[in-house]
A and B are shown apart, each in its own frame.
Chain A
Amino acid sequence: EVQLVESGGGLVQPGGSLRLSCAASGFTFSSYWMHWVRQAPGKGLVWVSRINSNGGSTSYADSVKGRFTISRDNAKNTLYLQMNSLGAEDTAVYYCARDRNFALDYWGQGILVTVSS
């Protein structure tokens, strides 16, 4: 069974940093591209970033470019999102998801990040 479990969320002050993790199981993690998607409270889904299977290619939404870094450790079956210079606009539930030709076929349960003083 495919499972994606996010961790590392919580409350952080404006300007602070946080690293999210997504532990994958039930499939060959190293064979799949992966994505991060976020959803602000009461709002719609917003794509954040994606990484290819070996970590050599990444892309980002304009809203996070230069502040967020996606990475992966295929030996640990884990996806990461390093988030720096956080602002109130980054408050959201963050989901990791597996890629299937740019469709996201499996999603984690989501982890809440709250940016507030």
Chain B
Amino acid sequence: QSALTQPASVSGSPGQSITISCTGTSSDVGGYNYVSWYQQHPGKAPKLMIYEVSNRPSGVPDRFSGSKSGNAASLTISGLQAEDEADYYCSSYTSSSTVVFGGGTKLTVL
């Protein structure tokens, strides 16, 4: 049950676009379309931003989008805003019928 691999940090200026990668294996990310993305502000509970690779829950701005290719998934945030500054985590269902998270990526809005 190794954690999915995410970059430790990314940054961007307001209005720009950024992409956060999430790399797994054929036993998790590559094997199922059950990749999710979460946003977590300091001291708060995580919030679901993307489910099933590319679907947005109601209320999540369409600036957030997700995709997958092979064993890697990506979260793209376009039109970056100050309030997007947070930690982001990917997760995936696995062949062991478990869930695995990525190590998290700190997004800084410059």
Contacts and interface: CB of A to CB of B under 8 A. Distances in A.
Interface of A: 35, 37, 44-47, 50, 59-62, 95, 100-110
Contacts of B93: 102
A59 B97 contact: yes
Given A95-B45, A103-B36, A59 B52 contact: no
A47 B45 contact: no
Contact of A102 (B34, B38, B57): B34
A109 B36 contact: no
B24 to A, nearest CB: 13
Contact of B45 (A50, A59, A107): A107
Interface of B: 1, 3, 32, 34, 36, 38, 40, 45-48, 51-52, 57, 87, 89, 91-93, 96-104
Contacts of A105: 48, 51, 57
21 contacts: A35-B99, A37-B101, A44-B3, A45-B46, A45-B104, A46-B101, A47-B91, A59-B97, A61-B98, A95-B45, A101-B51, A102-B32, A102-B34, A102-B36, A102-B99, A103-B36, A103-B48, A103-B52, A105-B51, A108-B45, A110-B45
Contact of A109 (B40, B45, B101, B104): B45
B101 A47 contact: yes
A22 B92 CA distance: 23
Contacts, number: 67
B25 to A, nearest CB: 16
A70 B101 CA distance: 19
A103 B1 contact: no
Contacts of A104: 36, 38, 46, 48, 91
B45 A45 contact: no
Q: Counting chain B CB atoms within 10 Å of each CB, which of A62, A100, A102, A104 scores highest?
A: A102
Q: Counting chain B CB atoms within 10 Å of each CB, which of A44, A46, A60 scores highest?
A: A44
Contact of A59 (B32, B36, B51, B98): B98
A113 B57 CA distance: 30
Given A45-B38, A59-B96, A101-B34, A107 B46 contact: yes
